[in-house]
Amino acid sequence: MKKDINKRIKEAAKGIRRRVLEHTINNNGGYLSQACSSSEILAALYLRIMNLGPVEAPIMPPPFTAVPGPDNPNYTTGAMFNGPKAPHLDRFFLSPSQYSLVLYAALIETGRMHEKGLEQFNRDGSRVEMIGAEHSPGMEIMTGSLGHGLSQAGGIAMARRLKRETGRVWVFMSDGEFQIGQTWEAMQTLSFYKLDNIGIYVDVNGYQCDGKMSKVMNIEPLKKRLESFGAKVFDVDGHDIDALIAPAKLKPAGRPLVVLAYTTPYRGIKILKEKTPKFHYIRFKDEDERRRYEAVLADF
């Protein structure tokens, strides 16, 4: 059983990388390193860690209609891709929506989004936005302005506790968000109110827009810092499926859970290492480079 699940997670992770690689080649650009670092995290969250309701069939993203407002009562978010809402079911929040492309690929690989949905990526009139919003597949809050996600998810976790709901709240974060003051405000609040119904997976890939994080603005020792804020923290190999799953199995005990998933931004696509230290958004410098990536895709 466990072997089967792990195999499925591994396959899904590979599928996420392949889809994002293909997309990056076809569009001469994409958030490829984020797929390399976070594929196992997202696949494990969707296939094993989170208790989400099913979707009847892979959903084709409906076109964008309108932003929320008092005169738009039929407005919907992208939460439908994560299944129905119920008191006992978990909820998922993507904090850095720069990872949207990777999330869309994960939704396809886990049977929640129609694979043709990705063809709408960054198209005018589509919900499948490049830096997704709350109407984008798999999303239900506004998170592109980094640092807002954890506090909003914290509010939802607090509300769920007030309503005595048993479902947990899962947040995917990037390591860059730990440079932001609001993230630490949120952490102190989560631990002050003992919100142990929240679990945070952080893709610690060590790189940000400007390059290597330790050169741009250091956040380490992250585990110690988070522990001193009152969190229950695990640092794991972010490509090791068992290690990713284990902390989520523990019974919550009064502290917010943080899993620091240490990852490699070129995992699974070795030639991507040549881009060091600029991994944030991958573009090919010439046709030759693009052909080399096509060759990688052909071998996938």
Partner 1 sequence: MTALKIAKDRTLDIKNMEILSKVHAKNLVKWAKDKPEALVLSADLTSSTEIDLFRDAYPDRFISFGVAEQNMMSFAGGLAREGFIPFVHTFAVFIYRRAYDQIAMCIAYPNLPVRMFGFLPGVTTPGGATHQAIEDTSIMRSLPNMTILECGDATDVESVLDAANAINGPVYIRMLRGEIPRLFDKSEPMILGKARILSRGNDITILSSGICTEEAMRAVEALKKHGVSITHLHISTLKPFNDTAVLEALSANKYGVITMENHSIIGGLGTVAAEEMAEAGIPNKLLRIGIKDTYLHGAGREYLMREYGFDAMALIREIEKIVDTSFDITEDDLRRVRFEPINSDAKAEAL
Q: What is the contact surface with partner 1 in residues (CB under 8 A)?
A: 67-70, 134, 140-142, 144-145, 147-148, 151-160, 162-163, 181-182, 185-186, 188-189
Nearer to partner 1, 92 or 279 (CB): 92
Given the complex with partner 1, which of 161 and 290 has the nearer CB atom? 161
CA distances from 204 to 61, 142, 219, 245 (A): 30, 22, 10, 16
The nearer residue to partner 1, 195 or 243, going by C-beta atoms, is 195
Nearest residue (CB) to partner 1, 178 versus 262: 178
Sequence-ordered list of residues with C-beta below 8 angstroms from that of 158, at least 6 positions apart, any chain: 193, 195
Alpha-carbon gap, residue 171 to 185, rounded angstroms:
16
Pairing mode of beta strands 211-212, 207-208: antiparallel
By beta-carbon proximity to partner 1, the closer residue of 49 and 156 is 156
Min dist CB 197 to partner 1, Å, is: 12
Contact assessment for residue 229 and residue 200, using Cβ atoms and an 8 Å cutoff: no
In angstroms, the CA 266 to CA 248 distance is: 26
* Cβ 144 to partner 1 shortest distance, Å: 8
The smaller minimum CB distance to partner 1, of residues 54 and 181, is found at 181
Q: How far is the CB of 183 from partner 1 (least distance, A)?
A: 9
Minimal distance, residue 203 CB to partner 1, in Å: 21
- Distance from chain centroid for Cα 87: 23
Q: How far is the CB of 154 from partner 1 (least distance, A)?
A: 6
Q: End-to-end CA distance of the chain, in Å?
A: 26
Measure the CA–CA gap between 116 and 114, rounded to whole angstroms. 5
Angle at which helix 32-44 crosses helix 2-26, to 10 degrees, equals: 160
CA–CA distances in Å: residue 36 to residues 168, 205, 267, 269: 27, 9, 5, 7
Distance of CA 260 to the CA centre of its chain: 13
- State the Cα angle at 222 between 271 and 278, rounded to 5°: 25
Q: Are 45 and 201 in contact (CB under 8 A)?
A: yes
**Shortest separation between residue 131's beta carbon and partner 1, angstroms:** 12
Q: How far is the CB of 223 from partner 1 (least distance, A)?
A: 22
Q: Which is nearer to partner 1, 109 or 165 (CB)?
A: 165
- Nearer of residues 93 and 201 to partner 1, judged by Cβ: 93
The CB-of-219 to partner 1 minimum distance in angstroms stands at 18
